[in-house]
């Protein structure tokens, strides 16, 4: 067999193999690209959810501070989200409120004129409950000294109305 015949013979067996290898490499690269796109999309969703949760936390923090300022001057008469805490065996007002759709006057809504943010789906709300605690040891025949303590519960919303954060604080008046 001459070298020219051997060359033609080997070309006859190699026809199309480069095309098949090229298609396999192209398919593998396509799969890698799709996987990278999927990972990037998932990471973007996670980052968006994290940002929305931070917005909701900030809204709840605004409501918490607003309600604490309100509690310093407001009468605890059951209006505007201010209550005198019920006796121990009874559920507190914060446990009785339907936070997803609170009735008018049951909660204090942060003022839209002073604290508004377009990144909140709803204005944050809060409730303040005042109760008395013994502030010193009891002595027989002497009145028990008491201190007023306020329990504030605030709810903030993110850009998505299902993203919520509930914060609580206690402080003495």
- Say yes or no to pLDDT of 11 above 60: no
- Say yes or no to pLDDT of 162 above 70: yes
pLDDT, one tens digit per residue, over 15-69 is 678 888 999 999 999 999 999 999 999 999 999 899 999 999 999 999 999 888 8
Point out the least confidently predicted range of 114-118, 122-126, 145-149: 114-118
d(CA 67, CA 62): 9
Q: Does pTM surpass 0.75?
A: no
Nearest to 158 by CA among 56, 63, 62, 51: 56
Helix, strand, coil percentages (3-state) for the chain, rounded to 5, are 40, 20, 35
Point out the least confidently predicted range of 3-7, 99-103, 131-135: 3-7
Dihedral class, residue 153 (left if φ above 0, else alpha if ψ from -120 to 50, else beta): beta
Q: What is the predicted pLDDT for the residue at 10?
A: 59
| Diameter of the chain measured on Cα atoms | 126
Q: What is the predicted pLDDT for the residue at 4?
A: 67
Q: What is the predicted pLDDT for the residue at 134?
A: 76
What the block records as the tokens of 156 is 């903030």
pLDDT, one tens digit per residue, over 81-118 is 888 887 777 777 778 788 777 777 788 888 765 567 78
Q: What is the predicted pLDDT for the residue at 96?
A: 79
Q: What is the predicted pLDDT for the residue at 114?
A: 56
Report CA dihedral (102, 117, 157, 97) to the nearest 10 degrees. Answer: -20
Contact between residue 115 and residue 125 where contact means Cβ atoms under 8 Å apart: no
């Amino acid at each position: 067999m001459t070298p020219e015949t051997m060359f033609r013979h080997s070309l006859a067996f190699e026809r199309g193999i480069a095309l098949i290898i090229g298609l396999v490499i192209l398919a593998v690269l396509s799969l890698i690209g799709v996987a990278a796109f999927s990972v990037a999309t998932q990471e973007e969703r996670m980052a968006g959810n994290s940002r929305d949760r931070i917005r909701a936390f900030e809204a709840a923090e605004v409501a918490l501070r607003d309600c604490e300022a309100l509690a310093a001057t407001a009468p605890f008469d059951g209006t505007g989200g201010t209550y005198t805490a019920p006796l121990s065996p009874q559920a507190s007002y914060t446990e009785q409120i339907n936070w997803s759709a609170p009735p008018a006057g049951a909660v204090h809504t942060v003022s839209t004129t002073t604290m508004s943010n377009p990144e909140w789906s709803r204005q944050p709300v809060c409730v303040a409950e005042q109760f008395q605690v013994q502030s010193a040891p009891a002595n027989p025949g002497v009145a028990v000294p008491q201190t007023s303590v306020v329990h504030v519960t605030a709810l903030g919303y993110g850009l998505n109305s299902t993203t919520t954060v509930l914060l609580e604080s206690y402080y003495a008046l």
